[in-house]
Structure 1
Amino acid sequence: MEFALLGWPEDDHRLRLDHRQFAYAGKFVMTSTGKAVVGDDGVVAAVAFDADRTDPDTLCVRYVTVRRDRRGERLGPRLLRFVRERARERGYERVTISVNNPFSYQAAYRAGFSFTGVEHGLAELTLEWPGDRSAERYRAGLAVFRERDLSDEEQAFLDEHIDGEPPDVLDAPT
């Protein structure tokens, strides 16, 4: 697997993804966000990001997508970790992401993010790096999802993790 930073927001990079294979594919065509990808023989996961409009020291991850047939391989968290490291190297002190389901929440935790306690947008929870990775904070975020209309898979996931510890942070990809 090769991880690559295609460009920062000011580079006006466009990425065309097949909408049948990737959620949010249309969001990657926009040139106002930076892009990073992972792939072997073609793109299998992508992230779009830009600077926070109110805090120049914060990078915001806007979209993460993994090709449907490659989900469950931890590509999303590994790519998030890759972007987080590139942001740190570029001088960003903080990286945020907002998620709207427990699977994305877990993926962000695997990348080293933690729940801020803030909800916004359309039922999104904000996570940040660095942050409080205590078990209490992790469980508080999962508990927010309990109040939502979830799929059977999401409900089973919550039942399994609601009293657990935050997942370990995955090693940084090379």
Structure 2
Amino acid sequence: MEYALVCPPGEGETLRLDYRAFAYAGKFVVGAPGKSVIRTPDGRPAAPDWEPDEPLPDTVDPAAFDEDVIAAVSFSSDRTDPACCRLRYVTVHAARRGEGIGPRLIDETVADLAVAGFDRVRIAVNNPFAYEACHKCGFAYTGERTGIAELELERPAGSPADVDPERYREGLAAFRETDGELSRAERRFVAERLERGPPQVEGGTDSARER
């Protein structure tokens, strides 16, 4: 696998992702946001043996998809704070989830954003698994929400955030407010993390550059 910055914000490049494999696939055909990816190093499909649950319509050409993309993220400057960049959408191929690829992509992208001159990076998450993964990438819950179930996390671009254990637990507990929408696995996950506390940061801006 290799990391690649596809384009900074405003350059207009797009990605064509198979919507059957990637969440938010339609967001990556928009040219304005910046984009970065983890892809196969030789152009091979990200998951050669993956079988989609549904066929493509006759009007969709499968050859148009960027099949070598394993994971992708889009990002752009915060509308009210140009020194802050927002990670807008993070998506990993359905067959490659659980391999730690999403956190690696976030680490690499944050490192590029630091080089580009951003002071801080923000992301909003809507489930406890993403919340935990972002804390492992050096983000910390700010105490703010962007929607009913979206929690704001932030980190300095050049180093991991300082995490307040009580605020970390406060964010996890917020997911319980929508407890009826959490799966059994999510409820168990939240309970375990509330007892344990914040995770150790894995990777980080410097180690993300190590191969």
TM-score (normalizing by structure 2): 0.79
Q: Is the CA contact 1:135–1:164 (under 8 Å) kept in the aligned structure 2?
A: no
Deviations 1:132-164 (A, max 9, x none): 312212111101011112011211211221122
Answer whether contact 2:111 2:208 (CA < 8 A) is retained. Answer: no
Give identity over the alignment, percent.
Answer: 49
Measure, in 2, the Cα distance between the counterparts of 1:102 and 1:24: 18
Q: Displacement of 1:165 after TM fit? A: 2.5
Distance, in Å, in 2 between the alignment partners of 1:67 and 1:157 is: 23
User: Is structure 2 residue 96 aligned with structure 1 residue 70?
Assistant: yes
Query: Any residues of structure 2 matched to 1:134-153 within 5 Å, and which?
Result: 134-148=164-178, 149-153=181-185
Report the AA paired with residue 190 of structure 2. L
Q: Distance in 1 between matches of 2:202 and 2:162?
A: 17
Distance 1:23 1:78 in 2: 18
Report the residue type matching 1:61 in the other structure.
L
The answer to whether structure 1 residue 17 and structure 2 residue 17 are counterparts is: yes
Find the aligned partners of 2:199 and 2:93 in 1 and give their Cα distance.
Answer: 23
Show the counterpart of 1:156: 188
Matched, 1:6 2:32: no
Query: What stretches of structure 2 of length at least 5 have no aligned partner?
Result: 45-67
1: CA distance, partners of 2:184 / 2:70: 26
Distance 1:63 1:122, change over 3 A: farther
* Amino acid in structure 1 at the alignment position of 2:208: P
- TM-score, scaled relative to structure 1: 0.95
Deviation, 1:39, is 1.9
Q: Secondary structure at the match of 1:95?
A: strand
Q: Which residue of 1 aligns with 2:70?
A: 44
Higher Cα Rg, which structure: 2
Contact 1:58/1:96 (8 A) holds in 2 = yes
Q: What is the CA RMSD across the aligned residues, in angstroms? A: 1.2
**Paired AA for residue 106 in structure 1:** E
Which AA in structure 2 matches 1:30?
V
How many pairs were matched up? 174
The alignment status of 1:115 with 2:141, answered yes or no, reads yes
